[in-house]
Every structure is written in structure tokens, then in C-alpha cells.
Amino acid sequence: MSRIKYAADPSFTKPWATKIGQLILNFSGLEFESYLWLVQMSEQPEQIPEFTKLTYASRVKKIKSFIKSSAFSDDWGKVATARWNESLELAKLRNRVGHNPLLFAWVEADETGEPDYIGVADMKAKKPLEDTEGPLLSKSAITDAVNQANKLVSNLASLRKKWCDIRDTNRNVSTP
């Protein structure tokens, strides 16, 4: 028989729910930034409604193709691509947490007090929990992911603004 136990809203869930919520909410900044990049880099405004039908990974793939064709410098293109690649790695964690059962785990066998970790039972992996990628997450690991999401949002917004400023300057120069 499995050692998995269920508890209806135990008192220790609130700090974990807060951390998980922060991860989901702060990653949404990357989701929004992806739409802004697509809208602002697209030279075909009629495609904009189609962007809403794309998954996050598909939007990032489209953004990276825009970066490749529209980078104003090699350095900017390399940095922008690297930041979007980082966001895809973070999306893997967000997806694992957001789309799988979460189980509490303790270091001590008596399983008392607040859990030490949250286990992500990756149901798509078709492997035992201990064989899946990073199955145990601490609150500090989730906090690190939240901070990474915030940093990426800030970096990507700055890179997008710089691209838009140069685009707009070039449009104004070429207009008679």
C-alpha cells in the first residue's frame, strides 16, 4: 500500500500555497511579456489574434524567429535569445507545479510540523516520483524561481523597449 496520505486543508498549507501562487502569478509576467514582444515585433498586425492561440513555448519560438530576423545588433540578439531560453526552462518548472499533483514531504519519518518539501508527482513522466526531474521542491527553491521570473520580466521588458526605441527612431529617420 502507498504511503500517500490525504489531509483536508491542513494548517501548514498556507505558506506553501502562497509560494506556489507567487510562482504562478510572477510567471504570468513572462506570459504577458511574450504577447507584448509578438505584437510589437510583428510587421503583420493581422496575425496578432493568432498569437493568443499559441502555447507559451510556441510564442517564444516565434519571438526568437523575430529576434533572428530583426535584431539591431548581434549582442542584443544573443542576450534576448538567452533570456527567452531561460524563460523556457522556468516554464518547465511552472508547468510541472501547475499541472501535476503536489505532495508534502518531510525529512523526518514522523512527518510532523510543516513539511520540508513539496513533491511534484510528474504524471506525464511515467516514472517513480524519485526518478523524475527535481521531484522535491523547498520553499527557497520556489522563491528562487519567483525571483528568476521577476528578473527575467524586467530584463525582457528592457530589451523590448530598447528594440522598440531603435525601431521607432529608424522609422522617424526614414520618413520624409
Reference 160, options 72, 91, 50; nearest CA is: 72
d(CA 93, CA 15): 19
| Cβ atoms 119, 129 nearer than 8 A | yes
Q: What separation in angstroms does the CA of 65 have from each of 36, 49, 86, 150?
A: 15, 18, 16, 24
d(CA 101, CA 97): 8
pLDDT in tens, 85-144: 999 999 999 999 999 888 888 888 888 888 889 888 777 776 655 555 667 899 999 999
d(CA 163, CA 157): 10
Model confidence band, residue 37 (pLDDT cutoffs 50, 70, 90): very high
The whole-angstrom distance between residue 120's C-alpha and the CA centroid of its chain comes to 16
Model confidence band, residue 1 (pLDDT cutoffs 50, 70, 90): very low
